[in-house]
Amino acid sequence: MALLGSVIFNTVFYLSLIPISISIIILYFFLSTKKLQAFGALWIWFVLWLLRITCGVTWVIEGKENIPDSPCIVVANHQGQWESFYLQTLLLPSTSIIKKELLYIPFFGWALRCMKPITLNRANKFSSLKKVIDKGVLKLKNGFSVILFPEGTRISPEKGIQPFANSCGVLASKSGKPILPICHNSGKYWKNKRFIKKPGQVIVKIGTPITGNNAKELTENAYLWIKNSYREIS
Q: What is the mean pLDDT of the chain?
A: 94
CA separation for the pair 155, 191 (Å, rounded): 10
User: What whole-number percentage of the chain has pLDDT above 90?
Assistant: 88
Q: How far apart are CA 51 and CA 13, in angstroms?
A: 9
CA distances from 43 to 16, 149, 230 (A): 9, 22, 28
Record the pTM: 0.94
Q: d(Cα 188, Cα 30) in Å, to the nearest integer? A: 39
pLDDT of amino acid 123? 66
Q: What's the pLDDT at 152?
A: 85
User: How high is the pLDDT of residue 125?
Assistant: 65
Q: pLDDT tens digits, residue range 118-168?
A: 988 766 666 677 888 999 999 999 999 999 999 988 999 999 999 999 999
**pLDDT beyond 90 at 9:** yes
Say if residue 93 is exposed, middle or buried (CB neighbours under 10 Å; 0-12, 13-18, 19+).
Answer: buried
Give the strand order in the sheet containing 94-99: 57-62, 200-206, 179-184, 73-76, 145-148, 94-99, 118-120
pLDDT of residue 225: 98
Contacts 24+ apart (CB under 8 A), 22-30: 22/107, 22/111, 24/111, 24/114, 24/115, 25/107, 25/110, 25/111, 25/114, 28/114
pLDDT band at residue 46, thresholds of 50, 70 and 90? very high
- In whole angstroms, what is the distance from residue 59 CA to residue 43 CA? 17
Euclidean distance between the first and the last CA atom of the chain, given in angstroms as a whole number: 24
Q: At residue 2, does pLDDT exceed 90?
A: no
CATH fold, domain 2-233, is Glycerol-3-phosphate (1)-acyltransferase (3.40.1130)
Give me the pLDDT at residue 200, please.
Answer: 96
Beta bridge partners of 167: none
Average pLDDT for 203-219: 97
Task: Compute the distance between CA of residue 86 and CA of residue 89 in angstroms, rounded to an integer.
Answer: 5
The predicted structure's pLDDT at residue 129: 78
Chain segment 57-107, per-residue pLDDT in tens: 999 999 999 999 999 999 999 999 999 999 999 999 999 988 888 899 999
Q: Residue range 170-182: average pLDDT? A: 97
pLDDT of residue 120: 81
